Amino acid sequence: MASSVLEATRAAHEDLERLDRLVVRELQRDPANARDRLFQSHRVHHMLDLVISTSDKLVEIYEDKDGARKDEISTHLTAPVQSDIFPKYYERLKEIRDYHRRNHSARFISETDDYEELLKEEPAIEFTGEEAFGRYLDLHELYNEFINSKFGSLMEYSAYVGTFAQTEKISHSLKATRQYKEYLEHILEYLTSFMYRTEPLQDIDKIFTKLQSEFEEQWANGEVPGWENKGTGKKSESQESAVDLDYYNTVEELVELGPEKLKEALTARALKGGGTVQQRAKRLFLLKHTPLEQLDRKHFAKGDDLKKEIALVEVKMKRLCEILDETSVGVTV
């Protein structure tokens, strides 16, 4: 069909209107039971995905980077003289009829049977037997990983299900390890998968983006729950009084404190404590005019980065647990 771009535009707008009506119609229906509610959520999620993909196609058409839409309008919908308008119109009408005669099944939604199929489909959702179609968490693999780790302890599975999100009970000396970070990532991966299957209308990416923004501010201020003053550089009263930079105007004055005193002051702020006395004094003196949270990351001890990564995963995990608890999945935070 010569004027396929304009026809594709018209068809896409029509599809969007139909999908909007389908979503409203589906959400106005009260689910009969929990299984029906889950199917309803997945059907709506599928239709919203179609809305997004169709909208993306329309944006691409209207951006007209290759000039095809402009050329088509110029060729088929304009006439150099008034007398050519009707011949152009009938030529266009013939092209549309020929196109639909050849592509009668090209549309993904029709006004008859196909139109209703999206409301009748039963999405294929995979659950383990223990998950009971999304009613419970299946944490057996994570439980075995926990009880066989250095940071874990022996307990019954039922006790683990009720306490796995209470990470504040684990000491920081055991948390600051790669093994613990990998364990947390496994939990987060499972909970995210469970959320996608049981709450498909939740925008997890948006939740995490907002959460990370809040986390950065809390971490800089030493206010992350369970990580207060743990590698954040927020000073205690005694540490603050030990080396008050307001009383020092040059690096040479700080050098007089000696290597041990400088190392203590640096590590209290999660900065690197190694190097010569001069290097330590220079590093500490940076805080005289630069806030700790704005300091270049190269000055921080590597362990602090690991702690921050672990704390962020913990925060994400707890947020998902809160959402699941609100939606009647038994998780105790």
Residue 53 confidence (pLDDT)? 93
Interacting residues of 113 by C-beta distance below 8 A, sequence separation 6+:
none
Helices of type H across the chain: 4-27, 34-63, 68-76, 85-102, 113-120, 140-147, 157-163, 172-175, 178-198, 204-220, 237-242, 251-255, 259-268, 277-285, 302-326
Residue 105 confidence (pLDDT)? 52
pLDDT digits (tens, 9 = 90+) for 143-195: 999 999 999 999 999 999 999 999 988 888 788 888 999 999 999 999 999 99
**Is there a single domain that holds both residue 136 and residue 107?**
no
What is the domain count for the chain? 2
Q: How far apart are CA 39 and CA 188, in angstroms?
A: 24
- The verdict on pTM exceeding 0.95 is no
**Is there a single domain that holds both residue 84 and residue 136?**
no
Residue 234 confidence (pLDDT)? 46
**Is there a single domain that holds both residue 112 and residue 133?**
no
Interacting residues of 220 by C-beta distance below 8 A, sequence separation 6+:
232, 292, 293
Structure confidence at residue 127 as a pLDDT band (50, 70, 90): very high
* Whether 46 contacts 118, CB under 8 Å: yes
Question: Would residue 302 count as lying in a domain?
Answer: no
Whole domain around residue 36: which residue ranges? 5-119
Question: Would residue 268 count as lying in a domain?
Answer: no
Task: Report the mean per-residue pLDDT for the chain.
Answer: 82
Residue ending a domain, among 119, 152, 176, is 119
Residue 304 confidence (pLDDT)? 67
Interacting residues of 157 by C-beta distance below 8 A, sequence separation 6+:
139, 140, 143
The CA-based angle 223-224-225, given to 5 degrees, is 105
**Is there a single domain that holds both residue 157 and residue 208?**
yes
Structure confidence at residue 119 as a pLDDT band (50, 70, 90): confident
What is the mean predicted confidence (pLDDT) over 32-56? Answer: 92
What is the mean predicted confidence (pLDDT) over 47-58? Answer: 92
**Is there a single domain that holds both residue 74 and residue 200?**
no
**Is there a single domain that holds both residue 95 and residue 203?**
no
Question: Would residue 250 count as lying in a domain?
Answer: no
Token duo for residue 125: 């959702």
pLDDT digits (tens, 9 = 90+) for 59-112: 999 998 888 888 777 776 565 555 666 777 777 778 778 877 776 555 444 444
Q: 3-state SS of the chain: helix, strand, coil percent to 5?
A: 65, 0, 35
Highest mean pLDDT among 88-97, 219-228, 265-274, 318-327: 318-327
* Whether 140 contacts 157, CB under 8 Å: yes
Beta bridge pairs of residue 300:
271
Highest mean pLDDT among 26-30, 105-109, 222-226, 237-241: 26-30
pLDDT digits (tens, 9 = 90+) for 287-316: 888 887 778 877 776 666 788 899 999 999
Across 64-80, b (16+ Cβ under 10 Å) vs e yields eeeeebeebeeebeeee
Residue ending a domain, among 119, 150, 174, is 119
Residue 41 confidence (pLDDT)? 93
Residue 79 confidence (pLDDT)? 55
**Is there a single domain that holds both residue 112 and residue 29?**
yes
Residue 156 confidence (pLDDT)? 94
